[in-house]
Each structure stands twice: as C-alpha cells, then as structure tokens.
Amino acid sequence: MAEDTSDKQIATRLATAGRRRQWTSAPGLPGGTVNPPVWRASTHLYDNCADLKAEVGNNAEGRFYYGRRGAPTQWALAEALTSLEDGAFGAMLYPSGVAAITGSYLAVMRPGQRLLITDNAYDPSRNIGTGLMKNFGVVPEFFDPMDIDGFRALCAQEGKIGAVLLEAPGSLTFEVCDVPALAAIAREAGAFVLCDNTWAGPTGFQPLAHGCDGSINALTKHVGGHSDLMMGAVTANERLYRRLRRTAQQLGQVVSPDDAALALRGLRTLRVRLKQESESALAIAQFLSTREEVAAVLCPMLEGAPGHDMWNRDFTGGCGLFSFVLKGRDADARARLIDALQLFGIGYSWGGFESLALPVDPGTCRSVRSWPPSHGEGGAWDGLDESDRFAIRLSIGLEDAGDLIADLKQGLAAMGAI
Ligand SMILES: *Cc1c(COP(=O)(O)O)cnc(C)c1O
C-alpha cells in the first residue's frame, strides 16, 4: 500500500488515502485491515515514566498523547483530506462545519481587524462575524463577490484586514465568483483567504491551488453523504494550519473516532456519488428552466446561470445542490409545491444520498445586494422581477432523475396556475 499518493489522480487518492500500514495493522500480527479501526480512547498509556516525560512536550502530529489529540482513526481522516487538496500542508477536524468556520475566524482574527465576508456566504458564517467575532472587537464587513472592482476598493480602505471569507458558489443563490482574482487582491492586502468549499468539495474545486490559504468543508454534507454525521474540516497551507491547530487545541475541539470512521467511509465513494448527483441535477435544472412557473434556475452547472463561466473555468465537478425561483408566486403556492412532493424530504442540510426540498429566502441573509433584485439592477440576477422572490433549494440525491422530474411535475401541478 503506497502511503504517499499525492502524485496520483484524485479518484486513486480517494481510494487509498489515509490507509497507512501502521494504522491498519497490529504489532506482531501479519497482514492488516483495509480500513483503520475505530480507536476509542481518552487515555493513551506509556511504557514508563521516561516515555511519558518525552511525549508530553512533543506536540507533533500522529503521536499518542491523550484523546484530545486524536488517535489513528482521526489522523487517517486528516491525512486523507490533506492528500486530496493540492498545496495542502494539513487538515484540522472540527465537530461541525460551523465549528470549522468559527475555528478559522478565531485562529486568524485579532481585535480591531476587519473581517470581509462574501455577501452570499452561508448564513451562520455571516452571523458568527456579526456576533461572536464582533464581540471580540473584530469589524465584520460584507462585499458583493461578483464585483471585483468594488472588492478592490473595499480592500484599499483603511484598517488591517485579518481575513476574507469566500464561498463559491454562494449559499442559496449559487453565483460562482472569480476566486483567483478575489484571493489575489485579498492576499495583496495581507489577509488570510478562507474559502468555504462545501458545495464542490475537493473533487470539484481546489481553493488552495486557486490562491486561498484554507479550504473549509462541512463534511456533514457530501463527505458523510448519508445524512447521519456532523463534522467539519479546514484543509490549509502551512501558515494557516499552524494557527488552526494551536487554536483548535486551546478550544478543545475534537471529533469522535466513530464519526471519523464514518467520514472516511463516505470519502471513498465521494466522487462517484457527486458525479451521479451532478448529472441528475443538471437534467432537473434543465427541465425546470423550461417551465413557465419558474423565473430562474440558480445552478452553476447550467449554461447561462450566474457564474457558469467561472464554474467552467475553475471547477472540475459539481454536485446536486441548486435553487430555482418561482415566477410571481407567493409563499403559500411554494408550500403547496413542496408539500406535494413525494420523493423529496423537507429538511435542513444536504449532500445525502436522498433528495431534499427546502423553501429559501435569500433576502433574509443579504446586506450588500437586495433580494429580489430591484428592476434594472442587472448583474448576477438579471431578469428577475420584484415579484420573483420565493425560491426552493433542491438537494438532488441518488434516486432516478426521471422519477424526480415526474415528482416535480406533479408538484408544479399541485401548486396550480396563477
Ligand atoms: C451546512 C453548511 C455549513 C455548516 O456545516 P454544519 O456541519 O451543518 O455545521 C457550512 N458551510 C456551508 C456552505 C454549508 O452548507
């Protein structure tokens, strides 16, 4: 079993990463297991006092010490995630995606510094900025990710920028910004560049190779993939990773070995699941774009969608998550549609093997651009009208795409004509 697979294609890395012989075998026994076992441990034992003394001061990776620093199950997951991103030095694990975002902010931000957050960030990423971080003396600011000149001007304003948070595509409206351009401007301004990469994951987009310092991933979504796991990770270059690790250790952030084993299991099939979900999602997005009840389909994989060009240029894959906006309907009509669906669950999260539908109102978590866009505003949401405000987010799973389309057809019928 090759232990360093960094020169291999990502499909090969997904199958082999994190399976070091020393983590899959037992001393004195020939052979070993395919997967690292679940090491449940708080106490790690030493052979004698001299060993204990030597290890206490040794905070290196992959050393037995105490449960808070993990054991081979967590180390294997972190190593696997590291090997999936070109330019990564290490990966820090967190008990949820939100904990990964908070852990990143806390690792790099200092009182008085500016924290620039993309206007289409995942809602909690905004709220941690305007809540916890602001309480610690950080100055949160928001920017339109599709306006490069505006971002450059914001960066040129007075005040040290501690970090910039990007997300591509953004939550709920799914515009894909020009990550390399924004990252270059942010770095020039001396900021750490963080990118929430949960939508594409490492098989679809590589933030570090596009100028970012850290790639945030809610493993809860695609990597878990089965709607039964909460976890997050930040894959980072050396400068960021050292800060993340120090901060996570001080916060006592740790993930359970059982959950790490589930995440490792999910990781092995990540690429094939996302490939299938992307293919189905595109077919469904194309179907929805032909319907008169639909004002816009916000899916970066769809020709003509906001940021489709950037997605084509920078991404190697997509996923099953996108939104569509109802034309001139109200919230009751939207609820009639969603409630009529038979194959879509109604609930938060996404990225599982099963399809979900969720009513979403982007206007509740935007401060730079209003939603719905006002007349003539143009930009990413060109063509949308003031009355086109009610959106539905779909997470497409592994069901047959034809069955899902038939279900959406009967949902649209249940919603009724205007
Ligand atoms: C869900 C999500 C998160 C947070 O993940 P949790 O594990 O639910 O805390 C972060 N970013 C994005 C884009 C998400 O969709």
Active site residues: 68, 122, 196, 221
Q: Which two tokens stand for residue 390?
A: 């009610």
- CA of 218 relative to ligand 1 center, distance in Å: 5
**Ligand 1 pocket test: which of 126, 171, 198 has the largest number of ligand atoms within 8 Å of its C-beta?**
198
3-state secondary structure of 216: strand
- Could you read off the pLDDT tens digit of each residue along the chain, which spans 418 residues? 556 777 889 999 999 999 999 999 999 999 999 999 999 999 999 999 999 998 888 888 899 999 999 999 999 999 999 999 999 999 999 999 999 999 999 999 999 999 999 999 999 999 999 999 999 999 999 999 999 999 999 999 999 999 999 999 999 999 999 999 999 999 999 999 999 999 999 999 999 999 999 999 999 999 999 999 999 999 999 999 999 999 999 999 999 999 999 999 999 999 999 999 999 999 999 999 999 999 999 999 999 888 899 999 999 999 999 999 999 999 999 999 999 999 999 999 999 999 999 999 998 999 998 888 765 555 556 778 888 999 999 999 999 999 999 999 999 999 987 6
CB 121 within 8 A of CB 98: no
**The domains spanning 10-268 and 271-415 adopt the same CATH topology:** no
Helix, strand, coil shares, percent, the chain, to 5: 40, 15, 45
CA gap 43, 60 in Å, rounded: 18
**Per-domain residue ranges for the chain?**
10-268, 271-415
Residue whose tokens read 């906006």:
325
What pLDDT sits at residue 370? Answer: 83
Helix or strand run (H / E) with residue 393: strand 391-395
Measured CA to CA, the distance from residue 237 to residue 88 in angstroms comes to 5
The answer to whether domain 271-415 has CATH 3.40.50.970 is: no
Residue nearest to atom 5 of ligand 1 (CA): 97
Q: How far apart are CA 414 and CA 35, in angstroms?
A: 48
In terms of Cα–Cα distance, which of 324, 364, 327, 330 is closest to 344?
Answer: 324
Question: How far, in Å, from the CA of 96 to the mean position of ligand 1?
Answer: 8
Protein fold of 10-268: Aspartate Aminotransferase; domain 2 (3.40.640)
